[in-house]
Structure 1
Amino acid sequence: MTGETHNSMSGHADVVVQAGHIGELHHHLHAAAASEQPVPFQVPPALVHFENRQDEQDRIARAAESHGSHAGPLVVALTGIGGIGKTALGFHVARQHSEKYPHGVLYVDLDDLRRDGVVEVADALGELLTALDTSPDCLARSFADRSKQYWTRTRDKRLIVVIDNARYGAEVAPLLPASAGSLAIVTSQGLLYDLGGVAAVEVPVNPLAVDEAVRLLGHIVDDPRLAAEPDALTQLAHGCGGLPAALQVAGQWVRKYRRRSLSRLIGELSTELHEKGIPMVEAVWDAAYAGLGPEAARLYRLLPQHPAPVVTGPDAAALLGGRLQPAEDALEELEVAGLLESRPEGYRMHDLLRGHADRRAGQDDPDGTDRAEARQGLIRWYRRQSARADLLAAGPRMTFAEPSAVVRDIPDVEFTDKTAALRWLESRRLALYGCVRVAFETGLYEDAWALCEPLWTHFLDHPHYADVTDAFRTGVAAADRLEHLPAMVRMRCQLARPLWEQERYDEAAEHLHTALAAAGALGESTQERKLTASAVEFQGLLKSAQGDWAGAAQDFTAAKEAHEAIGNAYGVLLQTYLLGRAALGQGEAGAAVALLTEAHRMAQEQDRERMTARTGFELGRALRRAGRPAEAVPLVRAALVGARDRGSDSDEVRVLKESAALAEELGETAEAERYRTAARLLATRSGSLPEEGQSS
């Protein structure tokens, strides 16, 4: 095998590794790939209206200048009440200082990942690692391993990491980058006392002073009335309590009524204040709400029913139960009124305004009928779209929920291909997982567990453990409420996998024990017998994860016999493959070769492209262990081609390491070292842990 560097037509410097004995097996690595990756910049564009809080900015700048000799990253904690502008200030500082931190600006909102008050920090690390260009298939499963990946990816880097809506130091400390040259900006309503020995520069963010609030209103409203009626302007600024979230709405409200004097507008608010005893801030929001058209006002009341922070046009249409265009018009009207903020991914509502919208809904919809219908419409729409995305992404597979009907007047999402379907599932995951919770809380139990079925495909590619564990626990509870036996079995099996991947083996085993007991009450239909075999397979997979290969083989054998009895050819193929892997795990290379040869033949006959690649690779490994490396060469070659065609970095690293082991067996030590080098380079580029993907 020879290695050389050459300039390709694209201008990349490619390292080509090619083996003599391994035929055409080769690997192209773009040496410049890491430097050519776009630098992450995850904060939104600058606000048109921002009071820049110069004192706070100066304090942060001084801390950054004096930080150089410290061991860890600079941590700046912006603290203050909700609506005070902490996030906006954090974004502004990140934008202002981004040139000093050339490796990127990352952002994570812990409230998006909070379940029952607790953040699954592993999921937050997953978001940050993905932003750092870690391939999804290379993302470590456990919190400990993700921490190692994060330290590796952030070491010697100059990054800004904005950590929004923290409540405890313990959920912040694992998200701090490893380099002393980085800056972490943390927003929190209170002081973070438990940062684990990390010193933070506390920067209180107080309400805007009246003169600052007046300036901000002047930026929002370019109107001569402000200069003509300074007393009224001061009264409005004071009444908003120095909260930028309130001043934004107040400014847009003033802009809307350009023909009324400012004194008259303020007088109306003062009447509300004195006659009804409500704060002026609430009166400002009430006034903005009163100026909305009927459809926008209704959407405003319904938005708190949406379980995710970002709302899109189809979401709004589903809530309103109507056509897409009026819903999009209503969203734009709410943005113009200052009641929504537009982002590239959709619209967001401030928590303070969400609370006001909820209060208005309670007044205008006292029995909750409109809100219940909105929740149901949203859930049914997401159930249908996620099932459609899952079918395109994974193809026909074992599911038990009835197909969802078209939701009236709301168009289906147009998925162009499998990639687009998977991308949609990931982009809307907070809404999807949120709909599972809302469906259960609303008593829509069938919808709750049915929504979990398409989330299985999403989980296999994107292991957001807090979300998936919460969703499938809810799915289990929903299936139990309905006593839907197939769903009771399926939900428990699917819950078990994220549990054992987090090394919660006892809990996973308990759910599988219950699933198998429930499976005993299933009928004799082909689908029910297939489900029983699947539950046995899951038990075998749990044993495999614990290294109990002998026990796993017993389960895979039982599952195989069940699939043979019902004539399920793919089930027989899968169990034969798993039995081959179990034999390898037990060191029985000869038995593994026989089983994997049969599995590989079946995969080819069934035209199962992915399984052909998987069985071929495992057969190659078995042949090498059995002392037959020459026979393994074409199989490993095909596995590498398949991994590259799929774009799976983790599979490619695994095949490269197996190629190195194979070259060693063939006496090609130089080639083996080149393969190991290529594997290390790709693992580094894709974010894999050094110990992942080892061949044995």
Structure 2
Amino acid sequence: MAVMTAVLQQVATDGWTRARDGLVGVFRRRRSATSDSVESELESARAALAEARRRNDDATADRLLADWSDRLLRNVLTDPDAEPELRALLTELAPGAVTFNGEVSAGSAIQAGEISTLNQHLHFHGPTATQRSAGPAAVPAGPAAQVAPAAPVAEHQLPLEEEPFENRDEQRAQVLRALDEHRESPLVRPLTVVISGVGGIGKTALAVRLAHELAPRFTGGSAYLDLDEWRTAGSVDADAILRHRLRRLGVAESWLPGEYRALVDLYKDRTRGARTVLVIDNAWSADEVTTLLPHSADALVLVTGQRRLPALEARGAIGLALGPLSHGHSSDVLRKIVTAVRPDESPRTMAALARLCDGFPAALRAVGTLLHEHPTRRTERLVADLTSQLHERGLPVVEAVWNTTYDELPAPAALLYRLLPQYPGYDITPEAAAALLGTGFDDAEDALGALVRAGLLEMSPTASPAHDGRFRLHGLLRAHATRCADRHGDPAETEEGLRRLLLWYRRQAERADRTIAAARLRQAEPVAELPYAPDLPFADEPEARSWLDAERKALYGWVRIAAGLGEDTHAWALCEPLWKHYEDQGNHDDAIRAFTIGRDAAQRCERPDALIRLRCQLAQALWFGGRAAEADTETEQAVRSAEAVVPGGGLHASALEFRGKFLAWRGEPDRAADCFRQSRDIHRALRPEPNAYGVLLQSFLLGRTLRAAGRLPEAETETQTALELAREQRHDRMIARSEAELGRIQRALGRPERAVAALERALELERRRGSTYDEAVLGEELAELAEESGDPRAAREYRARARELRVRAGAGAAPRTP
């Protein structure tokens, strides 16, 4: 879309003729249209775009640009010789080359970034040797240079393939045929393939193999998503998954909307027309998949699950039910696995061993790993042992092999294997394994290595450069480890391991939370350093936030486990660092479950201070989760408890603030204003000294709420007070917010000049702070004021900058209302 935006947005510039003629030349290369017809269509598109811009109809404008961009992309992809011609046109359209009555046009800021983006796109898809050696392109000057481009959409995040891979030729051919047929479909819907079958049959291996094989066809990238990583209490957190996918697609964190519907719309926007392949592993239902389908007919989605998904198949998905491998293919797999250590093994012995595996890739891999572990052990002996266990004890071969492997593990590795099924996270780090074992980091590293070599543990399929030392227990092996714990362990060792790891996780979460916000209100005493496992190094705030998000499944799980162990103090204390994660990620369902447990634990502990705090945290998750009546009860009880237990204290002020926020959200600004005023009074009266920031924040919230109530003179007074306090405290963020709020009040009072001045000051502050979302919101407001005052040129300039910021942030939709 970059080049079409750069060309069609020159509606009122001196460069239109050259831009139009250049595109006519590119389109004529395929002889699919005459010069006159293309020129006529471009002129019509130009006129339609101008009209859409005049009406502020971004949807129509985006659709026009998208239609022409698709046409242009097809030309470039099918005619490589068109690339030099397109590059020359882009150079001519560079910022400064396009003028309006001899001056640089307002649209040049947009062109700068978009032309740069397209140049990167062309470079990615096949630069010439000259282009590769020419060095980096010049960085555009002016406003476009002030905004970093969004991360590229073309992600490549597939797990490594498992070798050897054998057969499944029929299923692969079926997918290829379906792809060819899908190209002729008029529906805007990705080709979806559902691969079903029992555990260990090779569903994930086939999906990942297909994704790797077909990746060259999908220039928009490839991605892998294991829904088990996002599943808690049997359900997946759809909000959290969408946020994760949008981040991977290049949307800046501050631009991610808080509302589920807005996340869905933005995901549609970011995946519209994308040529991407997405693997969705371990799906339980069609509902879990539907929202994640790219909004594109040019995408491929490969879904795996133990059950068929008829609801998807009814809407055109291809169903592939996997069965066992044939004996011949099983023998081939086993031979490829063991050839390196047993090159002269008898084909008959290999065939006998393969038949015992009954065509299950998981069993074949387990047997092959065992033979690798014991290269001198006679294969005939293994066949006899497995046959005996199968016939005498009724054990499937994979169970028998894993039993044999477990029996030969060193003691620390066997203990770790028995403990791992109780671990609540998706994957585990060596530091966490050290805490679980309790005998030191070196023992944990050795135990993990032994389990990996034995084929009982694997590297996490979702490991990333930031989180690469993570290990995962496969679902089938988790069940086997549980049986080993029942047979060979005892409840005491499991409970001791869980208590050690619970304490370690709480300490790391508290350390991460303090790295993010050292002065935040907390009730729990921090956990002291532990002798049996090392602390994690949180170098800065982003690293701490990243760890909290990577460990979200474990951390929320530990709240539940702590309560189950009777460790109520740990249960509610863990909810304190989880509050920051919830604020960042908005995972309402997980937060409601955890904070409910924390609230009840604080009550059992007879910790009214913690109970008040947990009621407030729970209430916010409830009201944003659509459960207003329960939120009302929690905030009201929190305020009443604070009045009785800590009257006039900081916790009382905090409870009033939460109550006020809830009432403002529910549309009761007058009642909310009373809460904020009372909270401010408490902050002012605190001893030994007032809470200056608390007074500032409540003054700001009070002013904003009074504006919502239509009490504008009062709102102006309170917001002016907040602005003066923010300046005294040199709090740039609150200065900007107060200036912006003051501008909105002045606009509502019918004072446009004062409104523009205040909003301009706020915009400049947000620009200096690098807050692109707030800058864009303020730009849109200033554009409206410019239009109201009869200055369309200023309005266009404000909107051009706001639109540029949205493009850079990866958020194609208009900014949310402040």
Would the TM-score normalized by the shorter structure come out above 0.5?
A: yes
Change over 3 Å in CA distance of 1:453–1:640 after alignment to 2: same
Alpha-carbon distance between aligned partners in 1 of 2:669 and 2:209, rounded to the nearest angstrom: 55
Query: What is aligned with 1:537?
Result: 657
Name which of 532, 547, 563 aligns with 1:409: 532
Aligned to 1:370: 493
The question of whether the paired residues in 1 share the 8 Å contact of 2:779 and 2:798 is answered with yes
In structure 2, which of residues 484, 488, 512 is the aligned counterpart of residue 360 of structure 1? 484
SS at match of 1:436: helix
Name structure 1 gaps, 5 residues minimum.
18-25
- CA distance in 2: counterparts of 1:128 and 1:116, whole angstroms: 22
Q: 1:318-361: per-residue Cα shift (whole Å, max 9, x none)?
A: 11113222212221221111111124331111100011111111
Cα distance in 1, alignment partners of residues 343 and 402 from structure 2: 20
* Residues 341 and 375 in structure 2, CA contact (< 8 A), matched pair in contact too: no
8 Å CA contact 1:322, 1:408 repeated in 2: no
Query: Mean Cα displacement is larger for which, 670-679 or 649-658?
Result: 649-658
Distance 1:582 1:191, change over 3 A: same
SS at match of 1:47: coil
C-alpha change, 1:95 and 1:87, in structure 2 (3 Å) is: same
Q: For residue 72 of structure 2, what is the aligned residue in structure 1?
A: none
Distance 1:136 1:624 in 2: 30
**Cα distance between partner residues in 2 of 1:196 and 1:521:** 59
- After superposition, residues 11-160 of structure 1 pair within 5 angstroms as 11=137, 14=140, 16=142, 28-29=146-147, 33=149, 37=152, 39-70=154-185, 71=187, 72-160=189-277
Q: Quickly say closer, same or farther: Cα 1:647–1:409, change in 2 above 3 A.
A: farther
Deviation at 1:498, TM superposition (A): 2.4
1:627-646 superposed matches below 5 A: 627-628=750-751, 631=754, 636-637=759-760, 639-644=762-767
* More displaced stretch, 595-604 vs 90-99: 595-604
Residue 23 of structure 1 corresponds to which residue in structure 2? none
Answer whether contact 2:159 2:224 (CA < 8 A) is retained.
Answer: no
Pick 1 or 2: higher relative contact order, CA cutoff 8 A, min separation 6: 1
- Rate the CA distance shift 1:135–1:277 in 2: closer, same or farther, 3 A: same
Whether 2:385 is the aligned partner of 1:262: answer: no
The one of 440, 444, 458 aligned to 1:341: 458
CA distance in 2, matches of 1:637, 1:466: 39
Trace 1:108-257 onto structure 2 (pairs within 5 A).
108-195=225-312, 198-223=315-340, 225=342, 228-257=345-374
* Inter-partner Cα distance in structure 2 for 1:410 and 1:629: 61
Larger C-alpha radius of gyration, 1 or 2?
Answer: 2
Taking a change above 3 Å as real, the CA distance of residues 299 and 638 of structure 1, as seen in their structure-2 partners, is: farther
Structure 1 window deviating more from structure 2 (452-461 vs 671-680): it is 671-680
Name the residue aligned to 2:568: 445
TM-superposed CA distance for 1:663, in Å, is 4.1
Task: For residue 577 of structure 1, report the CA deviation from its aligned partner.
Answer: 0.6
- Matched to 1:68, the amino acid is R
Q: Which residue of 2 aligns with 1:21?
A: none
Deviation of residue 214 (structure 1)? Answer: 1.9
- Answer with 396-405 or 668-677: which moved more: 668-677
Residues 595/501 of structure 1: CA separation in 2 closer, same or farther (3 Å cut): same
Q: Kindly tell me: are residues 98 and 648 of structure 1, through their superposed partners in 2, closer, same or farther at Cα, counting changes over 3 Å?
A: farther
User: In 2, distance between residues paired with 1:109 and 1:645?
Assistant: 39
SS at match of 1:403: coil
For the residue of structure 1 that corresponds to 2:312, the secondary structure is coil
2:504 to 381, 400, 414: 381
The one-letter amino acid paired with 2:472 is: R
Count of residue pairs the alignment pairs up: 680
Distance 1:477 1:380 in 2: 20
Give the drift of 1:645: 5.5
Is 2:582 aligned against 1:459?
yes
Question: What does the per-residue CA deviation read over 1:384-433, in whole Å, with 9 as the maximum and x for residues that have no partner?
Answer: 11111111111211111111011213221111111221122122222222
Q: Secondary structure at the match of 2:781?
A: helix
Q: CA offsets, 1:194-253, max 9 Å, x none?
A: 339522100111122222222222232224647533333223323233222232222111
- 2:39 is aligned to none
CA spacing shift, 1:51–1:412, aligned 2, 3 Å: same
Say which is worse superposed, 458-467 or 647-656, in terms of deviation: 647-656
Give me the whole-angstrom Cα distance separating, in 1, the residues matched to 2:677 and 2:791: 39
Return 5+ residue gaps in structure 2 as ranges: 1-103, 117-134
Please point out which of 346, 351, 354 is paired with 2:475. 351
| Aligned with 1:671 (options 777, 782, 794) | 794
SS in 2 for 1:318: helix
1:34-67 residue CA offsets vs partner (Å, 9 max, x unmatched): 5x72621221122233235222111111111111
Which deviates further from its counterpart, 400-409 or 141-150?
A: 141-150
Measure how far apart 1:437 and its partner are. 2.1
Distance 2:339 2:768 in 1: 56
Offset of 1:364 from its aligned partner?
1.7
Q: Secondary structure at the match of 2:524?
A: coil
Equivalent position to 2:632, from 488, 503, 509:
509
| Kept after mapping to 2: 8 A contact 1:108/1:127 | no
Identity across the alignment (%): 39
Change (3 A) 1:334 1:475: same
What code does the residue aligned with 1:557 have? R
C-alpha change, 1:52 and 1:127, in structure 2 (3 Å) is farther
Shift of 1:155: 1.2
Match of 2:83 in 1: none
> Relative to structure 1, is the Cα distance of residues 197 and 670 closer, same or farther in structure 2, using a 3 angstrom cutoff?
farther
**What residue identity is the alignment partner of 1:265?**
L
Residue 546 (str. 1) matches residue 666 (str. 2): yes
1:593 paired residue among 716, 734, 747: 716
Give, in angstroms, the shift of residue 684 of structure 1: 4.1
Question: What per-residue deviation string (whole Å, max 9, x for no partner) do you get for residues 631-687 of structure 1?
Answer: 556654554455455554432322322332454466543122221122233224434
- Per-residue CA deviation, residues 583-629 of structure 1 (Å, 9 max, x unaligned), is 22234443323212211221232343433332233233334444555
Q: Which residue of 1 aligns with 2:731?
A: 608
Task: Tell me if the contact between 2:232 and 2:553 (Cα under 8 Å) persists in the aligned partners.
Answer: no
Contact persistence 1:399–1:453 (CA under 8 A): yes
Distance 2:748 2:515 in 1: 38
